Amino acid sequence: MSERLEDMDVTHEGMCLGTKAFMKQLLGVGLVLGCALWPITAPAQDGAIESLRQTGKAFSAVAKKVSPSVAFIQVEENTEDEAGEVGGWPFGDDLFRRFFGDDFPGLSRRQAPRKPRRAIGQGSGFVFAVDGDNAYVLTNNHVVEDARRIRVKFPDGRAFDARVKGTDPKSDVAVLEVAAKGLPALKWGDSGRLEVGEWVVAMGNPFGLSYTLTTGVVSAKGRTSLGINDYEDFIQTDAAINPGNSGGPLLNLDGEVVGVNTAIFSRSGGYMGVGFAIPSNLARVIAEQLLTQGKVVRGYIGLAVQPLEEDMAEALKLKEVRGVLVNQVYADSPAQRAGIRPGDVLVSFDGKALDDGGQYRNRAALARPDSIVTLGLLREGRLMEVRVKVGRLDESASERAEAIRALGVSVRSLTQEESRRLGLNEAVLVTSVEPGALAARAGIGPGTLILEVNRKAVSTPAAFMAALAESEGSVLLRVAVNGRSRYVTLRWR
């Protein structure tokens, strides 16, 4: 600058006036710089506020668009009251137990019969299809499971009794039918196009507070190993989800359903910043099958896979750790007929990369029976593509396989000599037990006799497995060791 600072007058509108000396220097420069920011800062602040205002209006627009289709679901179910004690003190025994313990004289010991009582549960849902005078509401299976009566309410004040059209516990999806006119169906969005960081809106009825909206972002995608459902591909979001939100829609800013709010991660029972939603691309396929068929038909390829670890990749002479390792190919399965082998590494399914076993299982299950899918795999370091004709999953066989894996036992029939010596005509003998499996933890070991499965006598391995196939997450066994028998309940869900 040719002029000296102390000789300058700053007179531009919006700037500081009359700085004359370099006091004058530091103070003057501070004033000039501080004031010079004003014409820039004010518009920037106004722009930020306007941007927030527009964001708020976007959320309001979503609420107005979708709220007529969001349902408040109340469920009545019969349950048993806690066993009441007969006799005791006139004001009840709890007070005396609290201060004096269970051994205080006069405390009752006899239990009254359990009495049925009506329990009220609640959740959320949304209309996804309309047919004439009927509307179809999607919700979570766990919301309506074991329901005696289901009541569905809408923001316009109408309430209807609902009928269960179909349920799929493995994906935790259920479809309800209500005789109602004038309810708009929400539009499905493509959950595959969601990106981490994208805004989403959750609608539902947390804690019975009807038609609540919360906002957040997509925190993560493809959560497949949480142990919540059999088939998992969850969207993780920080939009607040609480008890009562289950079954409500997760929406993008266009008001399209991109997920079904299902679960939260919590140590307190309430919201802690991590919620999970079934992606729309999974929920939609399940819901449409339940609507049209009343059940879900899943595809079957016939593979078992495991994670590909770094040392395995090195042993297989792979250049990178990607995909899932095939550890078993089932006999007479589509995979076997297509020439897939144990030791192959699956890296893609119909052109989409495979990162873990959950992704493979979901995509195989969603594949339409009799359709052709293309599996990309690595074999001895060479990339191949194999076309597989998808079969139909036998759910009973799947249940049986799951039960056998969970129990961890192998059995055989008794020989004639063993039957004569033991005096038993109907029993199977445990030949081996996997360490740490359910059977081992229950004290069942080699040499144990299994007499009954779910109160049915069994005498052959086939009868044993057929009885297990009827079990849904637990089994009642009658076993015998050294001539003494006992009942054992084993649960794997």
Taking 80 as the threshold, does the pLDDT of residue 430 lie above it? yes
The mean pLDDT of 272-277, rounded to a whole number, is 87
Number of H helices, E strands in the chain: 12, 27
Last residue within a domain, chosen from 393, 414, 436: 393
Those residues whose C-beta lies under 8 Å from the C-beta of residue 218, and which sit 6 or more positions away, are 194, 195, 196, 197, 198, 200, 235, 236, 237
- The pLDDT value given to residue 6: 37
Domain boundary among the residues 393, 425, 448 is at 393
- Reply yes or no on whether 246 is catalytic: yes
State the catalytic residue, choosing from 124, 171, 219, 246: 246
Total domains, the chain: 4
Residues 310 and 414 both lie in one domain: no
Question: Which residues, other chains included, contact 70 with Cβ-Cβ below 8 Å and sequence gap of 6+?
Answer: 124, 125, 126, 154, 155, 203, 204, 211, 248, 249
Average pLDDT, the chain: 81
What is the predicted pLDDT for the residue at 119?
67
12 counts as catalytic = no
68, pLDDT greater than 90 = yes
Same domain, 72 and 136: yes
- List the catalytic residue out of 172, 233, 238, 344: 172
Percent residues over pLDDT 90 in the chain? 43
Catalytic residue among 142, 219, 233, 238: 142
Instruction: Please give the pLDDT value at position 16.
Output: 36
Identify the pLDDT of residue 71: 94
What is the share, in percent, of the chain residues with pLDDT greater than 70? Answer: 79
**Catalytic status, residue 394:** no
Residue 107: what pLDDT?
A: 47
Owning domain of residue 378: 299-393
Dihedral sign for Cα atoms in the order 319, 325, 329, 333: negative
Domain-embedded: residue 57? no
Domain identity same for 289 and 303: no
157 vs 42: CA distance, rounded Å: 46
| 250 three-class SS | strand
Query: Both 303 and 448 in a single domain?
Result: no
Does residue 469 share a domain with residue 321? no
Look at residues 250, 227, 240 and name the one whose alpha carbon lies nearest to residue 270: 240
Q: For 58, list phi and psi in degrees, rounded to 5.
A: -65, -45
- Among candidate residues 180, 179, 125, 114, the one with its CA nearest the CA of residue 147: 125
pLDDT in tens, 109-162: 444 455 555 667 889 999 999 998 999 999 999 999 888 999 999 999 999 999
Read off φ and ψ for residue 16, nearest 5 degrees. Answer: -75, 150
User: Global pTM?
Assistant: 0.66
Angle ∠(379,385,389) on CA atoms, nearest 5: 115
pLDDT digits (tens, 9 = 90+) for 42-67: 666 777 788 888 888 889 999 999 99
